[in-house]
Amino acid sequence: MLDQDIKQQLAGYLELMENDIVIKASLADDDISKEMKELVNEIADMSAKITVQETQLERTPSFSVNRLNEDTGITFAGIPLGHEFTSLVLALLQVSGRPPKVDEEVINQIKGINIKGEFRFETYVSLSCHNCPDVVQALNVMSVINPNITHTMIDGAAYKAEVEQKNVMAVPAVYLDGEFFGGGRMSLEEILSQIADGPDPSELTEKDPFDVLVVGGGPAGASAAIYAARKGIRTGIVAERFGGQVMDTLGIENFISNTYTEGPKLMANVEAHVNDYDIDVMKLQQVSKLSKKDLFELELENGATLQSKTVILSTGARWRNVGVPGEQEFRNKGVAYCPHCDGPLFEGKDVAVIGGGNSGIEAAIDLAGIVKHVTVLEFLPELKADAVLQERLYSLPNVTVIKNAQTTEITGDEKVNGISYLDRDTNESHHIELAGVFVQIGLVPNTEWLGDTVERNRMGEIVIDKRGATSLPGVFAAGDCTDSPYKQIIISMGTGAAASLGAFDYLIRN
């Protein structure tokens, strides 16, 4: 079932196993069971430390990964290939006793210092989803460390009836004890923060002032922090999540020196680089206010206050909303923003893509290979996407392009059932029945919280000079939250470096 290259890589990983494990498989006569049986037996044949037992689990087909004489709590309901193959490999290693790469403080939290009760997690995924593995792997780690936590990965394509019954229309979708827990990409720390006591805000307030404090953990923020730390000055990063918007990016083919990578992989390497330096990284922290006193003060949502001599703003951007009735009401119930993740859930159905730029047309092309029909709605008289993408789009038989279309409402009951738009040429209203709407209309900077503290343009972008300096001396900015004309990963990293060097220059001159 596994090709030769993957088997060679897997064989190398399996040599790292520390103790024997048992794969318990619940199988029937269906095609998925047959493929699952082939997979687990193939893996077992590659290591003397792995044995397979057939048993009856909650779902069939499924299999669990266990220590000898102990159910670990990790189950795969579906065949974890594609993006989830790494989740399977890590589960085999960690259940065997290979320690997960997690901070000791987090491990102690998971072990039960702050966790109260028992937790039964289930995560619905699609194997093409690049966001799902982070969630699956985080919950698997928690199950390995704490016997009161169990986790089951459920492939939505293998359990369509469950997906329909629970109205799962976006992945990853996490359920805790049968109730919806959360959706979208979540880090281990983010999940843990919802079921365990977090750090005391006073611990943050008591930190010594920084020389440079970076707000945001995307490419710009990480680059800024590394450049600052290399100068030997006290450096910190405060961020809601590390990785930023890049964590939601699939294929990256224009990052110089690397012909192809993926967002999560790139940012994992960036985070490892950051961790090589003495940088105080404060995750899961949202900044609410910036003010200048003797030092700059950053107030956090949890009430804590951080101080610094200089500040670098690299808060990035987020998906722009259409802003019509139904968009928020049906978010994750038919309204989606990631075609790679959620597209497979709309197999054989009609969907719409709002937006005629590169991201919108790329989404429509991807979806056309999965769904029954795609309707592209573009507000302007012409598509804005590159000519090569438009040529490919118009060659597809199951795509309709509607220009001069102003979306007015996304309709539904418990989930999306249609979209309404106004023809800007004729001023006539139209309605299309469909099951999903993918919004692809660009980004909006995360700068509202700044108010008039620094100069921003009409789009909310922070105005900077060539050194990254803002209108407030001592405050610098970088990346997609600024008026830099091109929003690219490599440019964000460059502006992050420039802002950091600008901040250092400001420090030595003041």
Segment 263-295, tens digit of pLDDT: 889 999 999 999 999 999 999 999 999 999 999
Indicate which residue of 342, 350, 366, 480 is catalytic: 342
What is the mean pLDDT of the segment spanning 223-234? 98
Which sign does the torsion angle of CA 323, 325, 331, 335 carry? negative
The CATH number, out of the four listed (3.40.50.1970, 3.40.640.10, 3.50.50.60, 3.40.50.10190), of the domain defined by the range 335-439: 3.50.50.60
User: Buried b vs exposed e over 423-447: b needs ≥16 C-beta within 10 Å?
Assistant: eeeeeeeeebebbbbbbbbebbbbb
Q: Which of 271, 316, 293 is nearest to 479 (CA)?
A: 316
Alpha-helical (H) ranges within 124-187 are 132-145, 160-165
Fold of 203-247+260-318+443-509: FAD/NAD(P)-binding domain (3.50.50)
Query: Looking at this protein, which amino acid is placed at residue 416?
Result: V
Q: What is the pLDDT of residue 490?
A: 96
Q: Which of 178, 166, 171 is nearest to 134 (CA)?
A: 171
Indicate which residue of 129, 132, 341, 481 is catalytic: 341
Q: How far is the C-alpha of 320 from the C-alpha of 155, rounded, in Å?
A: 29
Preceding peptide of 172 cis, ω within 30° = yes
Known catalytic residue at 338 = yes
Q: Which CATH architecture has domain 4-195?
A: 3-Layer(aba) Sandwich (3.40)
Q: How far is the C-alpha of 1 from the C-alpha of 409, rounded, in Å?
A: 46
Q: What is the pLDDT of residue 113?
A: 64
Give the pTM.
Answer: 0.81
- Residue 198's pLDDT band, with cuts at 50, 70 and 90, is low
What is the mean pLDDT of the segment spanning 432-440? 97
* DSSP class per residue in 13-42: HHTT--S-EEEEEE--SSHHHHHHHHHHHH
Known catalytic residue at 341 = yes
Stretch(es) of the chain classified as CATH 3.40.30.80:
4-195
Q: What does pLDDT average to over the chain? A: 94
Stretch(es) of the chain classified as CATH 3.50.50.60:
203-247+260-318+443-509, 335-439
Q: What is the pLDDT of residue 472?
A: 98
Query: Looking at this protein, which amino acid is placed at residue 286?
Result: Q
Q: What is the pLDDT of residue 251?
A: 76
What is the mean pLDDT of the segment spanning 163-178? 93
- Does an H or E element contain 93, and which? helix 85-95
Q: What is the pLDDT of residue 111?
A: 87
What is the mean pLDDT of the segment spanning 186-209? 88
Indicate which residue of 134, 338, 480, 481 is catalytic: 338
